């Protein structure tokens, strides 16, 4: 069945489209009798307002584009929860696009946001993203952007990130306090800035304790962690283990189960969103990264940018 429009209602009732529009919005210039006729016709023929068209005429779609590097059970859902809570409260909707860790798809996603005339864009960058050159189209259209979770040193947009150096240092400090002498540090994708920052800070703290040895490995996925540890745990022993994320912690937990090893002999500490470790093993400790808080902050900053388009300063906000 064809979707009925304001023009269809106007033709049916033999009044102008502007009268129909104002009647539906309860404009005071329209009589109660006309309002009643219009609303009864709209209900009878299942008229549904085109919110996008209405907002477009107001130069606002009330829609935000959300771009993530990939969909994952680790951490991403909590960020989306925070973003959704803030945007819904302010009357905004959002659509989500995944870049699948591809720079080319990220470029396509940015173009989709531009074509959709979104009011703003929230972006978590891919591991391949090295600069913001492909964001120029959004800049030209005056569409504000906020980067979250993964950042670049180029300060062109507001960025909301965790204090990766501090979190990694706290984890190293805890392992030292537990008198660990042989530590295994499990890091993520070595090409990511977040990995580099956490690795640098973690190892720098341990340099103050020459009696401690530390073996570092880099893994792009939980499966890769599991595969590497199945080999390493055959010939090396550790008393402390650091996992830089929920994903690396999942791989560690899987490897220990496959090898039939208990987690009790190890002091395990991770940087985590906070929920995952509790379900894996009560012996795992963690420094919490609050994804919901990050999502809400990123959305709040973007909405402020939308309201105040003249604000050109860019900041990095730490959770």
Listed by start position, the domains of the chain span 6-49, 59-162+292-318, 164-288
Q: Which residues have CB under 8 Å from 32's CB, separation 6+?
A: none
Cα separations in angstroms, 218 against 178, 187, 190, 223, 251: 24, 5, 6, 12, 12
Paired residues of 187 in beta bridges:
218
59-162+292-318 and 164-288 share one fold? yes
Question: With the C-alpha atoms ordered 151, 153, 154, 156, is the resulting torsion angle positive or negative?
Answer: positive
What is the pLDDT, as a whole number, of residue 174? 97
Which of 222, 213, 164 shows the shortest CA–CA distance to 192? 164
> What is the model's pLDDT at position 2?
61
DSSP 264: T
Which parts of the chain register pLDDT below 70? 1-3, 48-59, 75, 311-312
- Cα 44-61-123 angle, rounded to 5 deg: 135
Closest of 243, 262, 261 to residue 252, by C-alpha: 243
The pLDDT value recorded for residue 89 is 94
63-68 β-sheet, strand order: 93-98, 63-68, 120-123, 145-148, 158-161, 316-318
Q: What is the pLDDT of residue 82?
A: 96
pLDDT of residue 34: 86
Q: How far apart are CA 90 and CA 68, in angstroms?
A: 22
Residue 280: burial class (beta carbons within 10 Å; 0-12, 13-18, 19+) = buried
Token pair of 69 as six digits? 């590097």
Place of tokens 């720098």: 204
The architecture CATH gives domain 164-288: 3-Layer(aba) Sandwich (3.40)
Q: Report residue 178: phi and psi, to 5°.
A: -85, 5
Query: Which neighbouring-strand residues pair with 123?
Result: 67, 147
pLDDT on residue 46: 80
pLDDT in tens, 216-234: 999 999 999 999 999 999 9
Asked whether the CA dihedral 33, 35, 36, 42 is positive or negative, the reply is: positive
CATH for the 59-162+292-318 domain, from 3.50.30.10, 3.40.50.970, 3.40.120.10, 3.40.50.2300:
3.40.50.2300
pLDDT at 164: 94
The model's pTM: 0.76
Name the DSSP letter for residue 94. Answer: E
């Amino acid at each position: 069945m064809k979707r009925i429009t304001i023009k269809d209602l106007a033709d049916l009732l033999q009044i102008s489209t502007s009268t129909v529009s104002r009647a539906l919005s309860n404009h005071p210039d329209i009589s109660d009798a006309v309002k009643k006729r219009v609303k009864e016709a709209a209900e009878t023929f299942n008229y549904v307002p085109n919110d996008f068209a209405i907002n477009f005429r107001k130069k606002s779609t009330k829609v935000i584009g959300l771009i993530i590097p990939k969909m994952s059970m680790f951490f991403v859902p909590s960020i989306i929860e925070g973003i959704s809570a803030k945007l819904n409260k302010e009357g905004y909707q959002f659509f989500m696009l995944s870049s699948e860790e591809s720079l080319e798809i990220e470029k396509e996603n940015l173009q989709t946001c531009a074509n959709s005339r979104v009011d703003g864009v929230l972006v978590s960058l891919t591991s391949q993203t090295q600069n913001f050159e492909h964001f120029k189209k959004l800049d030209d259209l005056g569409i504000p952007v906020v980067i979250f979770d993964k950042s670049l040193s180029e300060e062109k947009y507001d960025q909301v990130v965790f204090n990766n150096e501090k979190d990694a240092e706290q984890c190293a400090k805890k392992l030292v306090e537990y008198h660990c002498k042989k530590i295994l540090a499990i890091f993520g994708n070595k090409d990511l800035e977040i990995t580099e920052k956490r690795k640098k800070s973690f190892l720098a703290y341990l340099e103050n304790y020459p009696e401690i040895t530390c073996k570092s490995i880099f893994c792009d996925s939980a499966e890769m962690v599991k595969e590497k540890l199945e080999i390493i745990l055959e010939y090396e022993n550790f008393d402390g283990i650091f996992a830089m994320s929920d994903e690396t912690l999942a791989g560690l937990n899987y490897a220990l189960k496959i090898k039939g090893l208990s987690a009790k002999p190890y002091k395990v500490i991770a940087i985590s969103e906070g929920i995952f470790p509790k379900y894996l093993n009560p012996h795992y400790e963690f420094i919490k990264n609050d994804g919901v808080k990050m999502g809400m902050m990123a959305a709040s900053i973007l909405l402020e940018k939308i309201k105040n388009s003249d604000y050109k300063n860019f900041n990095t906000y730490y959770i």
